[in-house]
Homo-oligomer: A and B are copies of this chain.
Amino acid sequence: MHMHESCIFGVMSRIDPTESTVNAWARLIRAQTKVLDAVEEDLKAAGFPPLAWYDVLLELRRADGAGMRPMELQAQLLLAQHNVSRLIDRMDAKNLVRKKRASNDGRGQLVEMTEAGRDLLRRMWPVYRRAIQRHMGSKLDTSETERLAELLGKLLDHGS
């Protein structure tokens, strides 16, 4: 069993995944797709825009009135630059956000939430949280959600 492994300084560094890793990978893709699709569908059925809009508004609320640069949104939401640019445009067109020129950087924009945006955020949350519970929370107990979050956190770590 020496194939597909490389051993440097006594630390085994695998090149190919174990069967267990491939299995976890497959389930990660499918479980997220299934749960996300279901939640998006609940939101749509209630007449709300896609989750991405909620995510933008939530980030802007975290920024707490200070506004955010598009590139900050891009980093937080794991979206491509051009998609952020256009998502903001669409939300601006619906008056959910507002764009200003960044005062200290002439290249940049500063995006802030409007009152209508704050209102949408408030109205979406009750539907959103029930969807999360229905499609995810109801399938795991507390110790399981905690462990799941912990394991997924390792995939989000920057190091290694």
Q: With an 8 A cutoff between CB atoms, is A32 at the interface?
A: yes
Chain B residue with Cβ nearest A36: B29
* Bound Cα distance from A155 to B38, whole angstroms: 12
> Residue A139 contacts which of B23, B29, B133, B160 (CB distance < 8 angstroms)?
B160
Q: Is the CB of B142 within 8 A of A15?
A: no
A68 to chain B, nearest CB (A): 17
Taking CB atoms, residues of chain B closer than 8 Å to A140 are 21, 24, 151, 154-155
User: Given that A37-B78, A129-B17, A132-B21 are known contacts, is A147 also in contact with B138, CB under 8 Å in the complex?
Assistant: no
Q: Is the CB of B15 within 8 A of A132?
A: no
Q: With an 8 A cutoff between CB atoms, is A130 at the interface?
A: yes
* Bound Cα distance from A36 to B85, whole angstroms: 22
Give the dominant DSSP class at A's interface. Answer: helix
Q: Chain A 20-51, CB within 8 Å of chain B: the 1/0 string?
A: 11111101111111111100000000000000
Q: With an 8 A cutoff between CB atoms, is A105 at the interface?
A: no
Residues of A within 8 A of B (CB): 13-18, 20-25, 27-37, 78, 129-130, 132-133, 136-140, 142, 144-149, 151-157, 160
User: Which 6 residue pairs spanning A and B have beta carbons closest together?
Assistant: A32-B32, A21-B137, A27-B152, A17-B133, A17-B137, A31-B155
